[in-house]
Amino acid sequence: MRITSATFVKSAFVENDWPRDSKPEIAFLGRSNVGKSSLINSLLGVRGLARTSSTPGRTQALNFFLINDKFRFVDLPGYGYARAPKEVKAKWSEAAKDYLAMRKQLALSIHIVDSRHEPTKQDLQLHDWLRHYDRRYLTVATKSDKLSNNELRRNLDYARAALGNGVLAYSSIERRGVDDVWRAIETVLKQSAG
Ligand code: GTP
Ligand code: MG
């Protein structure tokens, strides 16, 4: 996909504040600090559009970005940040669950996991929600540049056993997997246009 424009639209916690038009949305979900913002930036080929930080748990709201004036990327708050206050954690699950449960515009969810670690309990729970709400999803194992080929192969096997066969290896630094993710996005966008 050729990116002609990518702009930040807004941050929002509650449904009332979500954009109201019917443009399709691609959501990015995963553990705090897993590399969601970096993945969004690497897909778009920009730096710093989605904020990246080494402080986990920074992004607490849903962040909407408009791409090519045609569809949106939605950066959902990261879960599982152990030191987040209870209210913040509760808000996460509420906002994210609401979004997964209700959002008609949601065309594809990209579930990001850390290729270095086994899926966490919350990764498994999110996976269950995606299935429960009958959402189309793609699972992406990022930070693959930090592993040897052997380690990566072994960890992908674990991840596929827990989360299904469609787990893709990704690296925002090496841009590994960028084409695969775009192919999946283009497929759902074509279908939602047709
Ligand atoms: P929150 O929004 O705070 O939950 O984090 P996030 O999931 O958006 O993660 P973010 O993209 O901010 O990245 C977290 C840290 O991981 C940063 O220090 C990134 O530079 C690093 N990182 C992200 N993706 C990769 C990757 O593919 N490879 C490597 N080596 N580091 C990465
Ligand atoms: Mg982020």
The pLDDT tens digits of the residues spanning 84-102 come to 666 666 556 677 788 999 9
* Local confidence pLDDT in tens for the 194 residues of the chain: 889 999 999 988 889 999 999 999 999 999 988 999 899 999 999 877 777 665 655 556 888 999 999 999 999 888 776 566 666 665 566 777 889 999 999 999 999 999 999 999 889 989 998 999 999 999 999 999 999 999 999 999 999 999 988 899 999 999 999 999 999 999 999 998 76
Q: Whose CA is nearest to atom 29 of ligand 1?
A: 143
Q: What is the pLDDT of residue 49?
A: 79
Helix (H, G, I), strand (E, B) or coil at 170: coil
Topology of domain 6-193, CATH? Rossmann fold (3.40.50)
Ligand 1 atom nearest the C-alpha of 78 is 4
- What residue segments make up the domains of the chain, in order of their start? 6-193
CA of 54 to the centre of ligand 1 (A): 7
CA of 194 to the centre of ligand 2 (A): 32
Sheet holding 25-30, edge to edge: 6-12, 62-67, 71-75, 25-30, 106-114, 137-142, 167-169
d(CA 66, CA 5): 8
155 lines ligand 1 (CB under 6 A): no
The distance in angstroms from the start CA to the end CA of the chain is: 18
Q: What is the pLDDT of residue 155?
A: 97
Q: What is the pLDDT of residue 77?
A: 82
pTM of the model: 0.92
d(CA 153, CA 58): 31
Helix (H, G, I), strand (E, B) or coil at 153: helix
d(CA 101, CA 99): 5
DSSP 77-133: PPB--TTS-HHHHHHHHHHHHHHHHH-TTEEEEEEEEETTSPPPHHHHHHHHHHHHT
Q: Whose CA is nearest to atom 24 of ligand 1?
A: 35
Q: Whose CA is nearest to atom 30 of ligand 1?
A: 143
Q: What is the pLDDT of residue 57?
A: 53
